[in-house]
């Protein structure tokens, strides 16, 4: 009990090199990427088409379009669902910025809903109260790899004739009621960015079962054209389009990783279970909620420090930052995922989207209020949490979870030494 924390010069709980980097690379990755390099098409090429087919089959969707980011796929979802100038789209108050800026990208207006403390996802009980005559769609973000209660979301959407978009950028393989995310709503977006559970360096996927949404998304994806670069193009912009296509090299990498994704997800689940066991008796921690019927993929294992117990409710974020510093000094790979709740970000507070107040000042729009008192749970979560990703990922095994937990135990049982930190 009298040991020194590493921040004060003691030995580290997690030795250097004990946590291995993500993703594991093997001969399949090398062969597929080198074959793409040796091929004739490094832009949207044959690996892109194959990736779309293989991903759609893996996730259980009729159509897939591979993109250069998850954000691009989200923008395609917003556009395909017919959200446009002045339309409102409901989204959680706590997520990655582009879960909400994708709405602005198509001139529509985000309306934020506070989160549920237990799930860290949108509070499904509060969605209905946020619906107005302008509401067109709901974005369900399956944050940290825990599915939103899609039964509730789909029921509200049906009652009000709204479209449902799933942001699955963190949720590859996560399930709700035994069904994979990305198969509940009208369309969905996945990310293959470096840290995601399926990594292709960068990249994304738009998925849907609906032919009309597929056609609309495809048009936006490639310059407003109606044909893919592998078809007989007429180089004609039929509507406003962007350049959101994936490249053959990234798709080759993604395809190679997809062959092992189930194995990775199993390992991650086992690692999370071990971390939960090892942290069960660590003081002052609130562990993630485990819910029946939700198959968590454990993209981000997020804990909250109990600031009420620790006596730091009034300076929660500052004390959390000290705890984070002490943990990282122990070698624990942990970080604050999002310090800012979405409505607190400058783009929303200053409403500085396109200049001249657009899209909020658009004649089709209704005034929308981003006063922060509406989101107390999201703010408390933002101030109290820290998260872990790489220690849970393959090739790390339960030993990485045990070392990580040892670091937490050490810091959380020496709060007096954390209080002494500058
Ligand atoms: C919830 C969520 N949505 C969207 C994105 C955007 O994905 P990308 O970085 O591929 O554009 C991310 C990734 O960081 C995310 O975590």
Q: What is the pLDDT of residues 215-236, one digit of tens each?
A: 999 999 999 999 888 888 999 9
Residue 182: strand, helix, or coil: coil
Distance of CA 106 from the midpoint of ligand 1 (Å): 17
- Cα distance between residue 190 and residue 84, in whole Å: 22
Of 191, 112, 178, nearest to 147 by C-alpha is 178
- Mean pLDDT calculated for residue range 287-307: 96
- pLDDT more than 90, % of the chain: 97
Distance of CA 342 from the midpoint of ligand 1 (Å): 14
Q: What is the pLDDT of residues 162-215, one digit of tens each?
A: 999 999 999 999 999 999 999 999 999 999 999 999 999 999 999 999 999 999
Task: Classify each residue of 276-288 as buried b or exposed e, where b means 16 or more C-beta atoms within 10 Å of its C-beta.
Answer: bebbeebebbbeb
Contact at 8 Å (CB) between 418 and 411? yes
Distance of CA 191 from the midpoint of ligand 1 (Å): 6
- Mean pLDDT calculated for residue range 326-353: 97
What radius of gyration, in Å, describes the C-alpha atoms of the chain?
22
Which residue's CA lies nearest to atom 8 of ligand 1? 70
Structure pTM? 0.98
Distance of CA 169 from the midpoint of ligand 1 (Å): 5
Q: What is the pLDDT of residues 243-254, one digit of tens each?
A: 999 999 999 999
- Mean pLDDT calculated for residue range 83-90: 97
pLDDT at 1 over 80: no
Closest-lying ligand 1 atom to the alpha carbon of residue 74: 4
Closest-lying ligand 1 atom to the alpha carbon of residue 191: 10
- pLDDT more than 70, % of the chain: 100
Residue in 69, 95, 115, 169 to alter for ligand 1 test, most ligand atoms within 8 A of Cβ: 169
pLDDT at 237 over 70: yes
Mean pLDDT of the chain: 97
Distance of CA 70 from the midpoint of ligand 1 (Å): 5
Local confidence band at 405 (pLDDT 50, 70, 90 cut-offs): very high
Q: What is the pLDDT of residues 275-286, one digit of tens each?
A: 999 999 999 999
Residue in 166, 191, 199 to alter for ligand 1 test, most ligand atoms within 8 A of Cβ: 191
DSSP for residue 406: H
Distance of CA 205 from the midpoint of ligand 1 (Å): 11
- Cα distance between residue 370 and residue 350, in whole Å: 10
Distance of CA 170 from the midpoint of ligand 1 (Å): 7
Distance of CA 71 from the midpoint of ligand 1 (Å): 6
CA dihedral of residues 319, 321, 323, 326 (deg, nearest 10) = -140
pLDDT at 256 over 80: yes
How high is the pLDDT of residue 201?
Answer: 97
Local confidence band at 19 (pLDDT 50, 70, 90 cut-offs): very high
Q: What is the pLDDT of residues 123-170, one digit of tens each?
A: 999 999 999 999 999 999 999 999 999 999 999 999 999 999 999 999
Q: What is the pLDDT of residues 112-126, one digit of tens each?
A: 999 999 999 999 999
pLDDT at 2 over 80: no
Distance of CA 201 from the midpoint of ligand 1 (Å): 13
Residue 221: count other Cβ atoms within 10 Å of its Cβ: 28
- Cα distance between residue 157 and residue 137, in whole Å: 8
Strand pairing category for 163-167 and 135-141: parallel
Closest-lying ligand 1 atom to the alpha carbon of residue 102: 4
Local confidence band at 71 (pLDDT 50, 70, 90 cut-offs): very high
Closest-lying ligand 1 atom to the alpha carbon of residue 73: 11
- Mean pLDDT calculated for residue range 377-388: 98
How high is the pLDDT of residue 378?
Answer: 98
Closest-lying ligand 1 atom to the alpha carbon of residue 141: 1
- Cα distance between residue 99 and residue 160, in whole Å: 22
Q: Which residues line ligand 1 (CB under 6 A)?
A: 69-71, 95-96, 98-99, 141, 167, 169-170, 191, 193, 204
């Amino acid at each position: 009990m009298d040991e020194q924390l590493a921040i004060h010069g003691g030995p580290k709980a997690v030795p250097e090199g004990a946590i291995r980097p993500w993703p594991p690379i093997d001969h399949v990755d090398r062969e597929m990427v080198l074959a793409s390099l040796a091929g004739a098409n490094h832009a949207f090429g044959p690996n892109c088409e194959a990736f779309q087919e293989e991903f759609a089959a893996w996730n259980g969707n009729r159509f897939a379009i591979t993109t250069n980011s998850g954000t691009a796929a989200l923008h395609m979802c917003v556009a395909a669902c017919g959200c446009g100038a002045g339309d409102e789209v409901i989204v959680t108050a706590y997520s990655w910025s582009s879960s909400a800026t994708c709405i602005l990208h198509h001139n529509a207006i985000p309306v934020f809903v506070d989160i549920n403390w237990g799930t860290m996802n949108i509070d499904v009980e509060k969605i209905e109260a946020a619906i107005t005559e302008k509401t067109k769609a709901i974005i369900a973000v399956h944050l940290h790899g825990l599915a939103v209660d899609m039964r509730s979301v789909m029921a509200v959407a049906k009652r009000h004739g709204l479209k449902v978009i799933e942001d699955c950028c963190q949720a590859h393989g996560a399930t709700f009621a035994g069904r994979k995310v990305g198969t509940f709503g009208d369309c969905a977006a996945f990310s293959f960015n470096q840290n995601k559970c399926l990594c292709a360096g960068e990249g994304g996927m738009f998925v849907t079962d609906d032919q009309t949404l597929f056609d609309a998304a495809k048009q936006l994806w490639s310059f407003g054209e109606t044909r893919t670069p592998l078809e007989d193009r007429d180089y004609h912009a039929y509507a406003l389009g962007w350049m959101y296509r994936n490249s053959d090299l990234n798709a080759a990498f993604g395809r190679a990783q997809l062959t092992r994704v189930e194995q990775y997800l199993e390992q991650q689940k086992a690692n999370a279970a071990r971390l939960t066991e090892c942290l069960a008796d660590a003081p002052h921690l609130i562990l993630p909620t485990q819910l029946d019927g939700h198959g968590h993929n454990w993209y981000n294992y997020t804990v909250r420090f109990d600031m009420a117990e620790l006596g730091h409710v009034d300076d929660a974020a500052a004390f959390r930052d000290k705890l984070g510093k002490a943990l990282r000094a122990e070698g624990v790979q942990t970080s604050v995922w999002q310090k800012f709740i979405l409505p607190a970000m400058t783009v929303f507070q200053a409403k500085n989207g396109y200049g001249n107040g657009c899209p909020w000042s658009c004649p089709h729009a209704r005034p929308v209020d981003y006063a922060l008192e509406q989101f107390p749970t999201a703010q408390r979560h933002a101030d109290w949490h820290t998260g872990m990703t790489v220690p849970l990922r393959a090739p790390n095994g339960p030993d990485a979870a045990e070392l990580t937990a040892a670091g937490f135990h050490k810091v959380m049982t020496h709060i007096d030494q954390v209080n002494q930190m500058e």
